[in-house]
Amino acid sequence: MTSTPILKGDLPAIFIDGEVGTTGLQIRERIEGRRDLRLVSVPSEARKDPAARRDAMAEADLAILCLPDAAAREAVAMAEELGASAPRILDASTAHRVAPGWEFGFAELAPGHADAIAAARKVANPGCYSTGAIALLRPLVDRGLVPAGHPLSINAVSGYSGGGRQMIEAFESGAAPALEVYGLGFSHKHLPEIERYAGLAVRPIFIPSVGNFRQGMLVSIPLHLDTLPGRPAAADLEAAYRAHYGAGGLVRVVATTPDDRLEPEALNGTDAMELRVFGLPDGAHALLVARLDNLGKGASGAAVQNAGLMLGLASADLQARAA
């Protein structure tokens, strides 16, 4: 177990650098009513003033970065210039997810990983797609049910809220289509973290899509079971998930039937993620599916979970959101 963090004041202090964006706003909404921490802010007119941001970092125990990649790197450099007054860093951008010296902020990744996040000075919040893909793959790779070098395809659909201001405006103005498939250059920004933290030796094919709904996400991975070592059944894969994630946490394993239908918005407003394995008892095929709110466990909810670990805070509010 990790020790209680040393704080700069009586209550843990958090500075959200970039709090006016989608992720930052939702993080603030989740924590602003808590009595076990305080929020450090800069006036709206000083949000881009380096001196004001530096002063806020010096006051904070934890800085949560909700910035574009280049700005996040600049913010980390700014924090490091503070020396002993530097806050711990939780970066919600893509900039540091596979960078040396950064802990990956998926608490359920492996046994003891939540303690590693709690002890870390710098934590990179996962991407939404990668949260689902890694949750589905890592337990199977760790147990040898899916070899690290096995060729894999990952498909996903997300609400448009994770696509930034221009995408949000396009969908909400009616200018966007019902569905768009993208990432067709096979180089989506979440691929490096999926490959590393799922434990893969071969980069998977990942084809995401965005639908005309604000938030919610499905990530699915088809498997030919008779190409895997030992030819596991769908029940074996589900058992591996149950052994890895246990019961009562934010990641839940849900039993399935062949008649199930899944829509991506069912967990909106929560920080939960559901994992399912579809397959006939003696079938040669299986489909792995993760469902989550791309703004919950896929972004802001994960950030608050990680902040709670890093600052030693109780997570009762997170568990309530999992209901």
pLDDT digit string, tens, across residues 197-253: 999 999 999 999 999 999 999 999 999 999 999 999 999 999 999 999 999 999 999
Q: Are residues 184 and 101 in the same domain?
A: no
| Token pair 């899944």 in the structure block, residue | 262
Residue from 260, 263, 262 nearest 279 by CA: 260
Is residue 3 domain-resident? no
Is residue 58 domain-resident? yes
State residue 316's pLDDT score.
Answer: 47
Q: Are residues 36 and 147 in the same domain?
A: no
Residue from 116, 290, 304 nearest 316 by CA: 304
What is the value of pTM for the model shown? Answer: 0.93
CATH number at residue 257: 3.30.360.10
State residue 320's pLDDT score.
Answer: 46
- Distance between CA atoms of 102 and 303, rounded to whole angstroms? 15
Average pLDDT rounded to a whole number, residues 83-104: 97
- Distance between CA atoms of 301 and 106, rounded to whole angstroms? 11
Pick the more confident residue, 10 or 58.
58
**Of all residues in the chain, what percent carry a pLDDT higher than 70?**
96
| Token pair 């450099």 in the structure block, residue | 77
Is residue 97 domain-resident? yes
Q: Are residues 68 and 196 in the same domain?
A: no
- Distance between CA atoms of 260 and 254, rounded to whole angstroms? 11
Residue 79 is part of which domain span?
13-125+299-321
Q: Are residues 192 and 282 in the same domain?
A: yes
| N-to-C CA span, the chain | 27
- Distance between CA atoms of 27 and 21, rounded to whole angstroms? 10
Q: Are residues 90 and 230 in the same domain?
A: no
Is residue 225 domain-resident? yes
Domain count, the chain: 2
Condensed to tens digits (0 to 9), the pLDDT of residues 260-293 reads 999 999 999 999 999 999 998 778 999 999 999 9
Active site residues: 128
